Amino acid sequence: MFHDIFGHIPLLTNPIFSEFVRAFGKLGKLFIHEKEKLLQLQRLYWFTIEFGVIKEKGVYKPYGAGIISSFGETNQIYNQEANFFPFKLETILNKPFRTDLMQDDYFVIDSLTQLFESLQEVKRLFTEKVLV
């Protein structure tokens, strides 16, 4: 419950982020019968909504609920004790993750608008059957 209320709920008050989450759900519904695409969406969810990082004015800040609701993960971000990579869809969609360990790798967005707009690219990759 702490994870949901402290980690997920506050950012949903941001209109861009809430639109991202809504659009994400629609994308999931669109591809609900395609197992591999759902797996890729799961990875995107993991590295954004759960473990996303944004860089603002040169500072890495968590926006993912999995980080925000974890003292250890939050410290990792602010102490820069992990690997920070630019947000790249092709990498994220193909990157397995572990749920039982602290994360080593985070993907960094420049803005919530970038995050929201990435879903259009995901939809394009999925519908045009581009190899991702």
| Nearer CB in complex with Fe ion: 50/126 | 50
115 near Fe ion (CB under 5 A) = no
Helix-helix angle 35-45:15-30, to 10 degrees: 160
| Phi, psi angle pair for 5, to nearest 5° | -75, -45
Least CB distance to Fe ion at residue 108 (A): 19
| Nearer CB in complex with Fe ion: 65/122 | 65
**Residue list 49-108, contact with Fe ion (CB under 5 A):** 65
Least CB distance to Fe ion at residue 8 (A): 6
Decide: 94 and 132 in contact? Cβ < 8 Å: yes
- What is the torsional sign of CA 11, 15, 20, 23? positive
| Nearer CB in complex with Fe ion: 8/123 | 8
Least CB distance to Fe ion at residue 111 (A): 22
Q: How far apart are CA 17 and CA 34, in angstroms?
A: 25
Q: Which two tokens stand for residue 33?
A: 């019968």
Least CB distance to Fe ion at residue 41 (A): 15
| Nearer CB in complex with Fe ion: 8/95 | 8
